[in-house]
Structure 1
Amino acid sequence: MNTLDGYLAQHETKFWLGGPAVVGRVLELDALCIVARMLAMLKEPQRRVLLLGQRGPQAQSLIDLMQKLLDSFNLDNVRSFLVNILVELSKRSRLYPQRLVLPNIDIRGSQITGGTFGDVWKGDLNGRAVAVKMMRVFDSRDVQALMKAYSKEAVLWAQLSSPYVLPFCGVYCADEPSPRACLVSPWMDKGTLPQYLKNNPAANRLQLMLDVALGLEYLHSFCSPIIHGDLKGLNILITSGLKACIADFGLSIIAQDSKIHFTVTATTNGQGSTPWMAPELLDCDSPERRRKSCASDIYAFGCVGYEIYAGRPPFSEHHSPMMAIVRNLQLRRPASTELDNAVWELIQKCRDTNPASRPNASEVVQQLR
């Protein structure tokens, strides 16, 4: 509250001085007062329980109000507080802002590609090309269950702002050919990382690897780090400015933690995401070790680095990549002349079998730079 009080004291006078933006400044002051009241409630245990215990229409109204504040005002250093409240209430109420619920989307043509949890189609949203990921769920009852389970991730994704993380447009419930839950994001003409590298063999691989590391650093920098959980080349898209940006975080964690019946399709040489999975995630004897973490994301990043220079997933020459990982087999160094010793050493460090020995995302960025 000291930070907020100081902000108000610093800006209140100039908000009332007039000028062309006086109305906007007054509204911003009102927004800060609303946030201040919310933060004051969170400091008192009973009122905190009351605020975060809202459900149904009351929770929806609060969630929509907080999203409107975040969308409309530059709240500076109190923004993170409001995001935390919004995400926590969304998680508990299993609701998300109504502005994330998109109207009808014109889905054009045929399926573009398929991933582990969904099929990607190209669509049109108010004249803007978008990617529509239709989630594969077991039956129609799971559609709303998925949307509720994904509420926290959807809300959090909508607040993120990084050139290295794919923006999130919202959620959409398609009716044809059957009820499907859809996640919508901007369309990327350059395609996925493997597609781009195949079509552009002279691409700057080191820069692409740094872009992915910067996206991971951004996700891991939050007070409660955002775990991607399924980092691989197919979940990295290339922007029109030729930057790599991370997509599809959180879905594998939802599938792992919920009772939703996903229809999971094995992709990439029939092995799904196994070639990018850290050894501890395959440890059947230790459920605690199997929890996805920043360290398992870093292991996957090392595998993406290998993928960038080798042009194929790790252990793609093996019949069972899972057995290769469990047996701690070493990857053969790619023959690429662009891969120098320092980058190859970093890839190996990221893939260390001991999670504690792997560098963190900031250290990876520093070394790549």
Structure 2
Amino acid sequence: MLKEPQRRTLILGQIGAQAQSLLDLIQKLLDSFDLDETRSFLIKILVELSKRSGLYPQRLVLPNIDIRGNQVNGGTFGDVWKGDLNGRPIAVKKMRVFGSRRVRALMKVYTREAVLWAQLSSPYVLPFCGVYLTNETSPRACLVSPWMDDGNLPQYLKNNPQADRLQLMLDVALGLDYLHSFSLPVIHGDLKGPNILITSGLRACIADFGLSTIAEDSNLHFTVTATSNGPGSIPWMAPELFDHLDSERRRKSCATDIYALGCVGYEMYAGRPPFSEHRSPMGAIMENLQLIRPASTELDDATWELIEKCRKIDPGSRPSASKVVQQLQLRCHPSTRDFELAHASVWHQQRGAT
């Protein structure tokens, strides 16, 4: 059925109870079986059907949760609050817009983010707990994840100046490599310091998939409509994303994620975003200005060279995420594999508890 265009169209046109039944069935298949190549088809169908219908697989919907205190942070599409789920602290990202039409539009963005995020499982990607729908006249979707006491990467490094930046950069590269190597490759699209959180084990994990997009695979013969290709955060954006004449170059890609990874590396050692000293960071990027090497004594020649390679003007000259991982692993402590094994069971416990 997945390989027949007419049947796919029929599936994606379902609404209401029929769409809900299909979403639940597809999610159950993804949860229960090792589906190899079929997994890519199912995830893409699941994401698109969820976006079109505005529904979620029921497994992802959480019961009532307790949101307490004040807003603590803000993301691309929503504000972050601290809450409680079954006695565990959680982060609740809630849409900030008002007006039924805008709420409906952003509900589709949240639907897509939630369904895609729920398929991911890596110690270097923030775990997804589920979706919570508010009790309002126009219900708003909230995306729920575990609460991280140490905050995001810039906050953590400010409070812990002696932190192992090389290991944290490796963690981010491992998260990016996982996304790019996923059964259906995922481009993050908005990688930056504030979108990287620090776990209780003091390791970095990637968060906020609001601008993520599923990489097109010609073997799938299926195009998701309106995949996110909107703007990211300017200081971390690759120069080709500002090309007003070539729409293909403006598409986010694995290479634009790698450029952002290089910017994150700079941010970690400089303590500020790239070109923050310029009145117009966009102008600096478009003029291909070079970053000044941070004065940090922790930044050795090999790491700076790698950061510069990630930020090459030519997308084809940038290394892949796996290449970045290989280079960083040669110089980091041999604890990464142990960390992955130790935290795999923790992730599944967190997922199972919801």
Please tell me whether the aligned partners of residues 95 and 140 of structure 2 are also in contact (alpha carbons under 8 angstroms). yes
What are the ranges of 5 or more consecutive residues in structure 2 without an aligned counterpart?
A: 215-225, 330-354
CA contact (8 A) 1:143 1:181 kept: no
Alpha-carbon separation, structure 2, partners of 1:115 and 1:49: 34
Cα deviation per residue 1:246-299 (whole Å; 9 max; x = unaligned)? 000233769xx589xx9x9xxxxxxx8211111111222323222211111111
1:72-83 superposed matches below 5 A: 73-75=32-34, 77=36, 80=39, 82-83=42-43
Amino acid at match of 1:305: G
Within the candidate set 74, 78, 81, 1:118 is matched to 78
| TM superposition score normalised by structure 2 | 0.81
Counterpart for residue 181 of structure 1? 141
Contact 2:78–2:93 (CA under 8 A) maintained in structure 1: yes
Matched, 1:310 2:270: yes
The 8 Å contact of residues 108 and 121 in structure 1, kept in 2 or not, is answered as yes
Aligned 8 A contact 1:172 1:182 in 2 = yes
* Structural mapping, 1:75-224, within 5 Å: 75=34, 77=36, 80=39, 82-175=42-135, 180-224=140-184
Distance 1:77 1:322 in 2: 42
Change (3 A) 1:140 1:125: farther
Indicate if the aligned counterparts of 2:65 and 2:84 stay in contact, CA closer than 8 A. yes
Q: 1:358 aligns with which of 318, 324, 327?
A: 318
Q: Percent identity?
A: 77
Equivalent residue for 2:341? Answer: none
Tell me the equivalent position of 1:42: 2
Larger Rg: 1
Task: Report the counterpart of residue 241 of structure 1 in structure 2.
Answer: 201
Partner of 2:247: 287
Q: Describe the SS at the equivalent of 2:59.
A: helix
Deviation at 1:144, TM superposition (A): 3.1
Structure 2 counterpart of 1:56:
16
Distance 1:312 1:46, change over 3 A: closer
Match of 2:348 in 1: none
Distance across 2 between alignment mates of 1:153 and 1:251:
8
| Structure 1 residue 339: Cα displacement | 1.0
Q: CA deviation at 1:180?
A: 3.9
Shift of the 176–53 alpha-carbon distance from structure 1 to 2, 3 Å rule, reads: closer
TM-fit CA distance, 1:306: 0.3
Q: Following TM superposition, by how much is the alpha carbon of 1:51 offset from its aligned partner in structure 2, in angstroms?
A: 4.0
Distance 1:84 1:332 in 2: 42
The offset of 1:307, in angstroms, is 0.6
Aligned partners of 1:177, 1:189: CA distance in 2, in Å?
A: 33
By relative contact order (CA 8 Å, sep 6+), the higher-ranking structure is: 2
Distance 1:140 1:54, change over 3 A: closer
Q: What is the Cα deviation at residue 75 of structure 1? A: 3.4
1:346 matched to 2:306? The reply is yes
Higher helix proportion (structure 1 or 2): 1
| Residue of structure 1 in register with 2:211 after alignment | 251
Distance in 2 separating the partners of 1:119 and 1:94: 21
Q: May I ask how many residue pairs the two structures share in their alignment?
A: 317
- Partner Cα distance (1:61, 1:192) in 2: 38
1:276 aligns with one of 236, 239, 244: 236
Post-superposition CA distance 1:126-171 (Å, at most 9, x none): 2221111122325233223322344333212101100000111222
SS at structure 1 position matched to 2:327: helix
Counterpart Cα distance in 2 of 1:207 and 1:285: 39
Structure-2 change in CA distance of 1:258 and 1:77 (3 Å): closer
Distance 1:150 1:194 in 2: 25
Q: 2-side partners of 1:142 and 1:100: how far apart?
A: 23
The 8 Å contact of residues 187 and 212 in structure 2, kept in 1 or not, is answered as no
